[in-house]
Amino acid sequence: MTSYEDAGVDIGAGERAVELMKSRVARSRRPEVVDDVSGFAGLFDASAFLRYKRPLLATSTDGVGTKVDLARRLGVYGTIGHDLVGMVVDDLAVCGAEPLFMTDYIACGKVVPERIADIVGGVADACALAGCALVGGETAEHPGLLEADEFDLAGAGTGVVEADDVLGPDRVRPGDAVIALGSSGIHSNGYSLVRHILATTDLTLDSRPGELDRTLGEELLTPTRIYAQDCLALVNEGGVHAFAHITGGGLAANLARSLPPTLDAVLNRSSWEVPALFRVLQAGGDVPWPEMDKTFNLGVGMVAVVAPDTADAALRLLATRGVPAWPLGEITPGTGQAAYA
pLDDT at res. 23: 67
pLDDT at 42: 83
Same fold, 11-33+52-162 and 169-340: no
Domain positions in the chain are 11-33+52-162, 169-340
- Following CA atoms 6, 9, 15, 21 in sequence, which dihedral angle do they give, to the nearest 10 degrees? 140
Q: What is the pTM (predicted TM-score) of this model? A: 0.92
Q: What is the pLDDT of residue 25?
A: 67
pLDDT given for residue 9 in this prediction: 66
Distance (Å, whole) CA 228 – CA 92 = 8
Task: Provide the pLDDT for residue 27.
Answer: 73
**pLDDT score for 32:** 82
Give me the pLDDT at residue 33, please: 84
11-33+52-162 belongs to which homologous superfamily?
PurM-like, N-terminal domain (3.30.1330.10)
Q: 3-class secondary structure for 6-40? A: HHCCCHHHHHHHHHHHHHHHHCCCCCCEECCCCCC
Q: How far is CA 244 from the centre of its chain?
A: 12
- Per-residue pLDDT tens digits for 123-145: 999 999 999 999 989 999 999 89
Confidence at residue 174, expressed as pLDDT on a 0 to 100 scale: 98
pLDDT at 3: 57
What pLDDT does residue 254 have? Answer: 97
Counting as low any pLDDT under 50, the low residues of the chain are none
What kind of architecture, by CATH, is found in domain 169-340? Alpha-Beta Complex (3.90)
Which pLDDT value is given to residue 119? Answer: 95
